[in-house]
Amino acid sequence: MKKLAQYLGAVATVAFGLGFAYTSSAADPIKIGSVLSVTGPAAFLGDPELKTLELYVEKINKEGGVLGRQLELVHYDDGTDATKANSFAKRLIEDDKVDVLIGGSTTGSTMAMVPLAEKAGVPFVSLAGAVVIIEPVKKWVFKTPHTDRMAAEKVFEDMKKRGLTKVALLSETSGFGQSGRKETEAMAARMGITLVADETYGPKDTDMSPQLTKIKNTPDVQALFVFGLGQGPAIVNKDVRQLGLTMPVYHAHGVASEEFIRLSGAAAEGVRLPAAALLVAEKLPANDPQKPVVVAYTKAYRERYQEDVSTFGGHAYDGLMLVVDAIKRAGSTDKAAVRDALEATKGYIGTGGKVSLSASDHMGLDLSAFRMLEVKNGEWVLLY
């Protein structure tokens, strides 16, 4: 009897220990790791991205969390430095032991993080634009923004409707601009567009008039396509105005925010670009399936921060919601299960469009997710 009592006592102790361990695990927060460019040249991307993640992590936690667990956002600011992004991603994976990664405000930062996520087997949702992030497909890497290839296609589609086929390209030498230049050249050849001028500028340049003067003096040029992000494209707009260029001006989606209009001032008038529906939330038709999502996000963000939304914050919203949905469907934070659930996402309606992912497509958006916008009287107007 004594031995039986000792045995039962040992079993009870182990059972209690296992129960305690399970309870602790179930109560542990789900760690969302994030590296964003909150400062530096790409702060206009990272700032709304971080604010969005903080807003919705707090909101989700107040509503009970995910799988009965709270979310914990662990974030670092890479200062728009890809080397720092790599170091912080390493810290998030090895020291902070995060369950997923959301971030990489720029293509450069994202690509510095990709090898670490792939090696460690951590689901990673990028917030950057270049197609190189998801092509070729990387097992653990996904992205929410539209690609540079899609931007070039949408812009050229609109140009052709207006009879514009001879185009000057002015691109930034950043990772986003370089990839955009490559994709634009390929898309031009495919769509019957002739690039009659091809100029570049640096991310820190403050005067693009030399490049624009060359473009102005190029015979037969009918339109200007600018591929960049940050303050550079706004400087281009002002220089275009000062030099008296009258040709139509298009930009890529890397400037899709109210800040772009403010920085450009009157020089933004008439500029066109492809962007997510978020910038024109209230102007969407009542039956647009994205309208409830983008209106709700716009309302929540403005109430919290007293500032306008940008498509960049929207990318962070979509990244977080895709991850949360995947964790719920996986029923756990097992990284492989979450990755598989992400890849199986079908028909998610977000700020960027309708997302359906697959083994061959880790972005899940088609060209219809882009809206063509124009600046009229100092505000974004939906063309189609």
Beta strand spans in 2-54 (E): 30-36
Structure tokens at 139: 């097992």
Q: How far is CA 284 from the centre of its chain?
A: 21
* d(C-alpha 167, C-alpha 272), whole Å: 14
Burial category of 355 from C-beta neighbours within 10 Å (exposed 0-12, middle 13-18, buried 19 and up): buried
Residue numbers in the chain where pLDDT is lower than 50: 1-24
Q: How many CB atoms lie within 10 A of CB 367?
A: 14
Nearest Cα to 272, choosing from 361, 382, 164, 351?
382
Q: What is the DSSP string of 249-293?
A: EEE-GGG-BHHHHHHHGGGGTT-EEEE-GGGGGGGS-TT-TTHHH
Helix axes 291-305, 43-62, angle to 10 degrees: 100
* Residue 26: per-residue pLDDT: 61
- 185: buried, middle or exposed (CB in 10 Å: 19+, 13-18, 0-12)? middle
At 175 the pLDDT is 87
Q: pTM, whole model, 2 decimals?
A: 0.89
Give the pLDDT of residue 25: 58
- Alpha carbon separation from 225 to 95, 167, 191, 196, 252 (Å, rounded): 44, 7, 15, 11, 8
5/21 Cα distance (integer angstroms): 24
Reduced to 3 states, what is the DSSP secondary structure of residue 199?
A: strand
pLDDT confidence of residue 2: 45
Burial of 307-320, coded b for 16+ CB within 10 Å and e otherwise, reads ebbbbbbbbbbbbb
Beta bridge partners of 199: 170
Structure letter (DSSP) for residue 372: E
Q: Which residue bears the tokens 């950043």?
A: 174
Q: Could you tell me the end-to-end alpha-carbon distance of the chain, in angstroms, rounded to an integer?
A: 83
pLDDT given for residue 223 in this prediction: 98
User: 112, 86 in Cβ contact below 8 A?
Assistant: yes
